[in-house]
Amino acid sequence: MDLENQRRVLEFSEQYGAENVVVLLGAAEGEAAGLAAETVTLGDPTWAGPLAGVSLGLSVFHICEPEVKAEIDPDVYDEQISMMEMVLDVDDICNEMNAIRDQL
Amino acid sequence: MADYSVIKASSYVLAHTPDMVIHNGTTQTTEMVVNPDSDYLKELPGHLRSYEDCLSYIPNQAYIGNVTNDELRAVEFPYYDKKASEPLRDGKYGEIMPEDEFYGLMQICDVFDLVLLEKEFAASVKAKLSAWGMLKEEQLSVLDKNQWDEEALSKLVNEEHAEGLYLNFKLVGCVKRAHDVDVNLSAHTMLENIVSKTSSVQAILNLIRKTGTDPESIDYVIDCCEEACGDMNQRGGGNFAKAAAEVAGLVNATGSDTRGFCAGPAHAILNAASLVKAGTFKSVLVTAGGCTAKLGMNGKDHVRKGLPILEDCIAGFTVLITENDGVNPIIRNDIVGRHCVGTGSAPQNVIGSLVTDPLDRAGLKVTDVDKFAPELQNPDITKPAGAGDVPEANFKMIGALAVKRGDIERTELPAFIKEHGLVGWAPTQGHIPSGVPFMGPMRDMILEGRMSRGMVIGKGSLFLGRMTNLFDGVSFVVEANPGKTEEASGTAAPAVSEEQIKALIAQSMRDFAESLLK
C-alpha cells in the first residue's frame, strides 16, 4: 500500500478510534487486495511504510464482496461498480480478503 | 478546414542501465535509507540481467519493432524465462543501447560540464559511439576532455554530493550538482533530467536514421516525459523539447513541454495533431525520454519471486506528425475522448468518457475500432507485483462496457478482448506505456491493410502530485488515410461539386421564400 495512504489510515484510526474505521478497497487483483488488507490489519508486510510493525486490526472489505454490495443501493452499485464486477475475479478477491480476516 | 494530420514516423528506444537500478531507482534508494541492511539490497545484484539477456528478452524486442504483437501473443507466458530467437540491438523502430554507451551519450547531451567520465572509460565509449554513427565528430570530441581517474570521481561523489555513474558496480563517472543550495539543480535532479534528455535524443536520432527524416524539416518539438527542469525560482520552467532538439540537430525547430503524468503523450499527440491541422506548423515531433526513478520499481516482488529485475531499461519514444500526405494514417482530432473534471472516477464513467462517448459522437460502435491502445504495460513486470495484467484489464473494461451498451453479447467478451486488444509489452516507465507504443505498429498495420481504425487512450494519475484528487485521460482515433481532400491536394475529386452546392443553396432560398409566404 502507498506510503501516504498508510499514513492517512494511521491518522484516521488515531483520530476516530480503530473500532470506528472501515477500510473499503477497490484493488483490481486478489493479491493486491490481500496485501492492502494485511497492511491495515496485521501491518505493512513490506516494512516500508508507517504501518510497518503496527497492527491496527481495522475492518476491511473489498467493494465487490457480497457483504458490501448488500449495503449499497442497487442502482448506485450498477452505475458505479457493475462494469468492474464483470471484469474482476471476484472469487479470488473474496478468498484473499477472507484469508487475511481469518488471521485476526 | 485544413486536412487531418498524419502519423509520418515513430521510434522506440531502450537503454539497458542495470547499475542505475541500484543507485537511481527510488525503490532501491528508499530502501537504502529506511532499511540499508535489508535482504533485498543484498540479493538485488544477483538478479540484474546482462546486456545480452536484456536483448534476448522478447518484450524488449517487441518494443523496438522486431517482434509483432501476434508473435508475442504466441509466446507462452511468462516471458522472462524465454529467449528471443534473434536478440538484436537494432530494431525496425529503434535500438537497445548498452549502459556504457548511454553514459557517453549522457555526457554529449550535457552542455554544462556536469557529467564527468573516467578517462579510459571515456576513450572506450568514444570508439563505440563513433561506430554507432549517429553523432558528429564535434559531439564525439566532448568525450576527449575527460581527465578524471576513479579517485577523483570518488572524491566528488563522497565529498561534493555528486551522483556516481557505475558500470558493473565500478565507478566510471559522475554527475555533479549544478548549484550548492538549490535542490532543483542538485546532482540527483540533474542526473534524472540528463537521463531523460539523453533518451529523448537517442529516440530522435533513431527516428532520423531509420526513417530518413530530414532533421531540418521539423518545425516544432513537444516533450511529454514526466520530469521537470528549472531552478528554485521556476522549478518546472522547461524545456526538455528544445534542449533535445538542439543536440539532435533540429535547427529549424523550437518546442515546449507538455505534462499530464502517464496521459502526457496522448495530450502531446493531440496538441501536435491540432497544430498541424491548424496550419501553425507542418511537422511536429512528439518525444519523451525515460525515467531513472522507476528503474526496479517492482524489484522487491521480482526478487522475492526469484525473477530477474525486469525494470532495468530507460525507455524513450518519438512520434512525427506532419501535414496530410495522402498515404499515412490520419489522426482524427475530431473523435476525441476526455475525462473531464465532472466525469467522476468510477471505472464506468472513465471508460465511457474516453471510449464510448467520442465514438457515440462520431456514430461509431465499440466494435468499429479494430484495435484499442490503452496502457500497454508488460504483464511480465506487473503480474508478479500484484498489479495484474494492465492491458488485459483495460480491454476487459472496454468489452464490459460494450456488453452493458448492447454492442456485443457477454459471451463474446473473451473474443472481443483478443480481437480488439493487444498483449502488453511496454516497460513500466510511467508515460511510456500509455498508448503510444502502439502508434508505430498501428501505422504499419494500417498501411499494410491489416486494420483501418485504432484508438489510443492515455490515462494519468494526477493525484500523485497532490494538487488534485482527480485522475485524467484523453483519447483519439487514428484511421487509414482516405486520400487528400481537394483543398489539401488541389487534385483529388471534390466530394460535392460546385454545381451541387449552387443547387443546394438555390433550393434553400426557395424553401425560405416559401416559408415566408405561408
Instruction: Please state, as a whole number, how many other Cβ atoms lie within 10 Å of the Cβ of residue A68.
Output: 16
Q: Which of A32, A80, A83 sits opposite B387 (nearest CB)?
A: A32
- Per-residue HEC secondary structure of B153-199 comes to HHHHHHHCCCEEEEECCEEEEEECCCCCCCHHHCHHHHHHHHHHHHH
Q: Which of B29, B8, B14 is nearest to B293 (CA)?
A: B29
CA B264, B268, B269, B271 torsion-angle sign: positive
Contact across the interface for B35 and A31, Cβ inside 8 Å = no
- Chain B: give the shortest CA distance to residue A22, in Å: 20
What integer pLDDT is reported at residue B488 of this predicted model?
A: 47
Which positions 290-309 of B are in contact with A (Cβ < 8 Å)?
300
Joined together, the cell numbers standing for residue A56 give 491496527
Contact across the interface for B404 and A84, Cβ inside 8 Å = no
Per-domain residue ranges for chain B?
A: 5-484
B211-214: list long-range contacts, CB under 8 Å, 24+ apart.
Answer: B211/B8, B211/B9, B211/B11, B211/B320, B213/B8, B213/B9, B213/B320
- Chain B: give the shortest CA distance to residue A47, in Å: 9
Beta strands in B184-253 (DSSP E): 220-223
A vs B: CB pairs below 8 A:
45
Contact across the interface for B348 and A82, Cβ inside 8 Å = yes
Q: Measured between alpha carbons, how far is A56 from B501 in angstroms, rounded to an integer?
A: 75
CA B267, B265, B347, A11 torsion-angle sign: negative
Phi, psi of B233 (to 5 degrees): -95, -10
Q: Which of B26, B396, B416, B469 to mutate: most A Cβ within 10 Å? A: B396
Which chain A residue shows the shortest CA-CA distance from B298? A46
Contact across the interface for B404 and A82, Cβ inside 8 Å = yes
Q: Measured between CB atoms, does B461 come within 8 Å of chain A?
A: no
Q: Measured between CB atoms, does A14 come within 8 Å of chain B?
A: no
* Structural domain boundaries enclosing A98: 3-102
User: Which residue, chain included where needed, has cell 546532482?
Assistant: B187
- Which uninterrupted H or E stretch holds B319? strand B313-323
Q: Measured between CB atoms, does B346 come within 8 Å of chain A?
A: yes
How far, in whole angstroms, is CA B419 from its chain's centroid? 24
Q: Measured between alpha carbons, how far is B252 from A82 in angstroms, rounded to an integer?
A: 52
Contact across the interface for B387 and A29, Cβ inside 8 Å = yes
Weakly modelled stretches of chain A, pLDDT under 50: none
Decide: residue B328, CB within 10 A, 0-12 exposed, 13-18 middle, 19+ buried. Answer: buried
Which chain A residue shows the shortest CA-CA distance from B401? A83
What integer pLDDT is reported at residue B490 of this predicted model?
A: 44
What integer pLDDT is reported at residue B387 of this predicted model?
A: 84
Contact across the interface for A35 and B386, Cβ inside 8 Å = yes
CA angle B457–B459–B464, rounded 5-degree value: 170
Q: Measured between alpha carbons, how far is B155 from B177 in angstroms, rounded to an integer?
A: 13
Residues of chain A positioned with their CB less than 8 A from the CB of B388? 28-29, 32
Q: Which of B255, B261, B247 is nearest to B199 (CA)?
A: B247
Q: Measured between alpha carbons, how far is B65 from B92 in angstroms, rounded to an integer?
A: 5
- Chain B: give the shortest CA distance to residue A18, in Å: 25
Q: Which of A29, A47, A80 sits opposite B386 (nearest CB)?
A: A29
**Interface confidence (ipTM) of the complex:** 0.71
Contact across the interface for B403 and A86, Cβ inside 8 Å = yes
What integer pLDDT is reported at residue A104 of this predicted model?
A: 82
Residues of chain A positioned with their CB less than 8 A from the CB of B389? none
Q: Measured between alpha carbons, how far is B160 from B153 in angstroms, rounded to an integer?
A: 10
How many domains does chain A fold into? Answer: 1
What integer pLDDT is reported at residue B503 of this predicted model?
A: 64
Residues of chain B positioned with their CB less than 8 A from the CB of A47? 35
Q: Measured between CB atoms, does B33 come within 8 Å of chain A?
A: no
CB under 8 Å to B302, separation ≥6 — which residues? B47, B308, B309, B310, B311, B381, B384, B385
Q: Measured between alpha carbons, how far is B6 from B515 in angstroms, rounded to an integer?
A: 45
Q: Which of B319, B201, B199 is nearest to B270 (CA)?
A: B319
Fold of the domain built from segment(s) B5-484:
Peroxisomal Thiolase; Chain A, domain 1 (3.40.47)
Residues of chain A positioned with their CB less than 8 A from the CB of B348? 79-80, 82-84
pLDDT per residue of chain B (518 residues) written in tens, 0 to 9 = 469 999 999 999 999 999 999 999 999 999 999 999 999 999 999 999 999 999 999 999 999 999 999 999 999 999 999 999 999 999 999 999 999 999 999 999 999 999 999 999 999 999 999 999 999 999 999 999 999 999 999 999 999 999 999 999 999 999 999 999 999 999 999 999 999 999 999 999 999 999 999 999 999 999 999 999 999 999 999 999 999 999 999 999 999 999 999 999 999 999 999 999 999 999 999 999 999 999 999 999 999 999 999 999 999 999 999 999 999 999 999 999 999 999 988 888 999 999 999 999 999 999 999 999 999 999 999 999 988 899 999 999 999 999 988 999 999 999 999 999 999 999 999 999 999 999 999 999 999 999 999 999 999 999 899 999 999 999 999 999 998 765 544 444 445 555 556 666 766 677 666 666 65
Joined together, the cell numbers standing for residue B448 give 499494410
Contact across the interface for A32 and B393, Cβ inside 8 Å = no
- Chain B: give the shortest CA distance to residue A35, in Å: 9
Q: Measured between CB atoms, does B35 come within 8 Å of chain A?
A: yes
Joined together, the cell numbers standing for residue B164 give 556516481
pLDDT digits (tens, 9 = 90+) for A6-36: 999 999 999 999 999 999 999 988 988 999 9
- Chain A: give the shortest CA distance to residue B396, in Å: 6
What integer pLDDT is reported at residue B501 of this predicted model?
A: 63
Contact across the interface for A83 and B347, Cβ inside 8 Å = yes
Which positions 50-79 of A are in contact with B (Cβ < 8 Å)?
79
Residues of chain B positioned with their CB less than 8 A from the CB of A46? 300
Q: Which of B12, B489, B23, B51 is nearest to B308 (CA)?
A: B51
CB under 8 Å to B212, separation ≥6 — which residues? none
Q: Which of B64, B46, B10, B85 is nearest to B313 (CA)?
A: B64
Q: Measured between alpha carbons, how far is A40 from A51 in angstroms, rounded to an integer?
A: 7
Q: Measured between CB atoms, does A90 come within 8 Å of chain B?
A: no
Do residues B290 and B195 make contact, with C-beta atoms less than 8 angstroms apart? yes
Residues of chain B positioned with their CB less than 8 A from the CB of A79? 346, 348
Axis crossing angle, helix A90-102 with helix A30-41, rounded to the nearest 10: 20
Contact across the interface for B35 and A32, Cβ inside 8 Å = no
- Chain A: give the shortest CA distance to residue B261, in Å: 17
Residue type for position B232? M
Compute the CA torsion angle B80, B83, B87, B92 (nearest 10 deg): -70
Which chain A residue shows the shortest CA-CA distance from B27? A48
Q: Measured between alpha carbons, how far is B496 from B189 in angstroms, rounded to an integer?
A: 57
